[in-house]
Amino acid sequence: MTAVYICHPKRSAVGRYGGALADIRPDDLLAQVIKAVLDDAPDFDHSAIEDSFMGCANQSGEDNRNVARMSGLLSGLSENVPATTINRLCGSLDAVGTAFRAIVSGEMELALAGGVESMTRAPFVIGKPEGAYDRRQTLQDTTMGWRFINKKLDAMYGTEAMPRTAENLAEKYNISREDQDSFAVWSQQKAAQAQDDGRLAAEITPITIERRKKRSVDRRYDEHPRPNTDITALEKLRPIYEGGTITAGNASGINDGAAAMLIASEAAVKKYGLTPMAKIEGMATAGVEPTIMGIGPVPATQKLLKRLNLSLDDIDIIELNEAFSAQVLACSRELGLEDRDPRLNPKGGSIALGHPLGASGARILISAIHELQRTKKDRALCTMCIGVGQGIALVVSRAGE
């Protein structure tokens, strides 16, 4: 199989909802990250990039009409470089996987991949009336979750909100509120340590935000972590559902962010003098019952490891995206991991760092790659649950020496 490498990966800091990145459009945000990737790479003719694949889960606001293409043009890429937006909801690793498969197939040698999401700037939308005087239209918030629900699908599978699907997993796997809060604190502690020692800063390219009165601001640090979080504080939070265990403290954030990288064949790495940081070993996806969508990483991981003739014992770093504590704990236990396996999300996960949906896949991948390089470990697994009942997994190995 053709060797495929990840080169010059970059990401923005992750902004809080209404926070540091609220004043920048998603297409402009991703454009800055793409430009940072290209500036970091050696000087070569960027028209050699054969396609660009970017994840985005919303696409109903400023990220409409193929945000991957618009961001590429805004970054200064030649109009000759095509682009497509990938929407597997929060399974945005699929953008990297799409580039990987295209190169393995021999279709191309060099591509961009990544993703973007501005949940702050997600619009309210309203459907067109079905009749001339129809007053029954409902304003829909597109920040996350279901909208314009198909009644037939609702009758077949239900259309439960994401926190409810996490409650379903907590009940199914008997995961206590105490265990969930404890895991959330652990995520915050790891993120705080990674911020303090510069491990997160190593991943981040500064984002310049043009403010009113022509004042620009550089954003270089993830702003979602709450380093002083403790069990006592989390215990005081009310659950989202009466009698439930899911709270704002043991769930991921609503965030803004972008990430990008070059995906290259071995021939392209040599031809353009690129610096490979990781080799993609494979990717897999799986479908699960929508009401327990958070368990999706389990079958996706099992499928991929079987295909690669590996086991979890062969994995040194596990980036399992933290949509909810309950979801991560359910997956960990189903996979036979300890709740606090030291390989799991070593720099904290989305509970602490935030979850900008279309960018999170590339974000966890970049975190894993940098950690492989820092620790000189060999192999990392990145895996995510996906709304409406899917999972995705990708394995990379360290490269560059």
Q: Which residues are catalytic?
A: 90, 355, 385
- Asked if 49 contacts 278 with a C-beta cutoff of 8 angstroms, the reply is no
Alpha-carbon distance of 60 to 62, in angstroms, equals: 7
Return the number of other C-beta atoms located less than 10 Å from residue 107's C-beta.
Answer: 11
Q: Vertex 316, ends 269 and 355: CA angle to 5°? A: 80
- Asked if 256 contacts 21 with a C-beta cutoff of 8 angstroms, the reply is yes
Q: What is the DSSP string of 157-195?
A: H----HHHHHHHHHHHTT--HHHHHHHHHHHHHHHHHHH
DSSP H helix total and E strand total for the chain: 12, 14
> Identity (one letter) of the amino acid at 331?
C
Q: Half-sphere exposure of residue 64, counting CA atoms within 13 Å on the CB side?
A: 8
Strand partners, 265: 4
User: Where does 23-121 have alpha helices with state H?
Assistant: 26-40, 67-75, 93-104
Burial string for 352-365 (b: 16+ CB within 10 Å, else e) reads: bbbbbbbbbbbbbb
**Which among 309, 331, 306 is positioned nearest to 320, based on CA atoms?**
331
Return the number of other C-beta atoms located less than 10 Å from residue 143's C-beta.
Answer: 17
**Which among 57, 120, 50, 68 is positioned nearest to 92, based on CA atoms?**
57
